[in-house]
């Protein structure tokens, strides 16, 4: 995060860093930017209000898989389709860590957790496919074990002019499974660049995204080669037209 922001080079006071509730949502408090640690699942609507009120700001949104895809799931398609220039980072650890290890929307089927003693019966959501299907202009996945790769993905997401999503396969060191830890991730990761994936190919990206939960692809799944106009641009037009 720090490396990406350093590379982007905006002063901290021009950044609004918004989060929901969860372990990962503590992150704005660790930065020197303006932060807003809001309520569970609602970071995206609040971030959109900030961006609409002041389009000059760099607005980052962070949270976990539960915050984003469970309680906040209803806000995601709308944030995507409005296409404000926001960067949404989900630290996806497949578990509710802050409440000590319950089933999350991305927990794999059969997993025994504090709330699924007999194994999860539910099909996990696929955040990458969701984002691609909703029409997000930038979708990527990274792992903290590959710190340089992740930093450049975040940087690229911030630079993308529109709604950008980075799924960060983030190990929960307390409740996570062995296969999700950093060391295992480093061994398992399959950089998309090595496979010759063209990030401009949305259908191929969706095909690759189907491997979520089985294959640990890292890198940019999709970057819209012709980014559509952002909504805050329309706000300026309307305001100027009114004057």
Partner 1 sequence: MVSDLIIGMAGSGGDGIVSAGDALIATAAEAGYYAMLTKSFGSQIRGGESSCRLRVATGPVQNPGGVLAIAVALNWEDFGRFGLELPVGPRTLLIHEAKSGARPLNVRLAIAAPIEELSVSAAGTPRAKNSVVLGLLAGWAGFDAGRLLDRLRKKLGRKGEEVLAANERAFAAGLDFARGRPVSEEFRLGPPAADARPRVIRDGNEVCASAALFAGCQFFGGYPITPATEIMQILQKEIWKHGGALLQAEDEIAGIGAAIGASFAGKKAMTATSGPGLSLKTEMLGLASAAELPLVCVDVQRGGPSTGMPTKREQSDLFAAVFSAHGDSVRPVLAPTCVADTFTVTLDAFNIAEAYQTPVLVLSDQEIAQRKEAMDPLSTEGLKVVDRRRPTPEELQHYVRFAATDTGVSPISQPGMPGGAYLAAGIEHDESGAPSSSGQVHARMNDKRLRKLDPLKRRSDLFRVEGPDDATLGLIAWGSVAGICREALGLAAAEGLKVKLLVPRLLYPVAEEIFEAFFASLRTCLVVEQSQQGQFHRILRMWTEVPAEFFSLAESGANPITPADVLARLRAFSTHDSLPVQRLPQRPQADLVSRMR
Q: Is 12 in the site for partner 1 (CB under 8 A)?
A: yes
Q: Is 39 in the site for partner 1 (CB under 8 A)?
A: yes
Q: Which is nearer to partner 1, 38 or 218 (CB)?
A: 38
**If you search the block for the tokens 């396969």, which residue do you land on?**
169
Q: Is 42 in the site for partner 1 (CB under 8 A)?
A: yes
**If you search the block for the tokens 């329309």, which residue do you land on?**
234
Among 6, 29, 100, 186, interactor with partner 1 by CB under 8 A: 29
Among 8, 36, 201, 204, interactor with partner 1 by CB under 8 A: 36
What does R_g of the chain's alpha carbons equal in angstroms? 17
CB of residue 37 to partner 1, shortest distance in Å: 4
Q: Decide: 116 and 193 in contact? Cβ < 8 Å.
A: no
CB of residue 108 to partner 1, shortest distance in Å: 29
Among 4, 5, 16, 132, interactor with partner 1 by CB under 8 A: 16
Among 7, 8, 33, 133, interactor with partner 1 by CB under 8 A: 33
- 3-state SS, residue 66: helix
131: closest CA among 190, 89, 184, 191?
89
Q: Which is nearer to partner 1, 203 or 238 (CB)?
A: 238
CB of residue 103 to partner 1, shortest distance in Å: 23
CA distance 15 to 122: 38
Q: Is 11 in the site for partner 1 (CB under 8 A)?
A: yes
Interface with partner 1 in residues 187-216 (CB under 8 A): none
Which strand (E) or helix (H) includes residue 148? helix 147-159
Each residue 69-98 as x (binds partner 1 by CB under 8 A) or -, in order, gives -----xx-xx--------------------
CA distance 241 to 243: 6
CB of residue 15 to partner 1, shortest distance in Å: 7
- Rounded to a whole number of angstroms, the distance between the first and last alpha carbons of the chain is 39
Max intra-chain CA distance, the chain: 63
Among 2, 6, 13, 109, interactor with partner 1 by CB under 8 A: 13
Q: Which is nearer to partner 1, 76 or 208 (CB)?
A: 76
CA distances from 188 to 38, 183, 210 (A): 34, 9, 17
CA distance 44 to 82: 11
Sign of CA pseudo-dihedral 14, 32, 172, 141:
positive
Which residues contact partner 1 by CB under 8 A? 11-16, 18, 21, 26, 28-29, 32-39, 42, 44-54, 56-57, 74-75, 77-78, 235, 238-239, 241-243
């Amino acid at each position: 995060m720090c490396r990406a922001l350093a590379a982007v080079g905006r002063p901290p006071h021009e950044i609004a860093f918004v989060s929901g509730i969860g372990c990962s949502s503590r992150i704005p408090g660790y930065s020197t930017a303006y932060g807003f640690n809001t309520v569970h699942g609602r970071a995206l609507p609040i971030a959109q209000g900030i961006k609409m009120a002041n389009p000059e700001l760099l607005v980052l949104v962070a949270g976990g898989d539960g915050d984003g895809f469970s309680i906040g799931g209803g806000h995601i398609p709308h944030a995507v389709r409005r296409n404000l220039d926001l960067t949404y980072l989900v630290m996806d650890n497949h578990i509710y860590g802050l409440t000590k290890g319950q089933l999350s929307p991305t927990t794999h089927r059969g997993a025994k957790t504090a709330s699924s003693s007999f194994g999860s019966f539910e099909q996990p959501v696929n955040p990458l496919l969701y984002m691609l299907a909703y029409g997000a202009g930038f979708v990527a996945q990274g792992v903290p074990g590959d710190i340089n790769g992740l930093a450049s993905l975040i940087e690229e997401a911030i630079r993308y002019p529109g709604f950008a999503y980075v799924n960060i396969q983030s190990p929960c060191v307390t409740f996570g499974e062995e296969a999700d830890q950093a060391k295992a991730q480093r061994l398992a990761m399959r950089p998309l660049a090595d496979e010759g994936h063209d990030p401009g190919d949305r259908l191929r990206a969706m095909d690759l995204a189907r491997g979520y939960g089985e294959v640990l692809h890292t890198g940019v799944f999709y970057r819209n080669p012709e980014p559509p106009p952002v909504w805050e641009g329309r706000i300026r037009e309307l305001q100027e037209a009114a004057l």
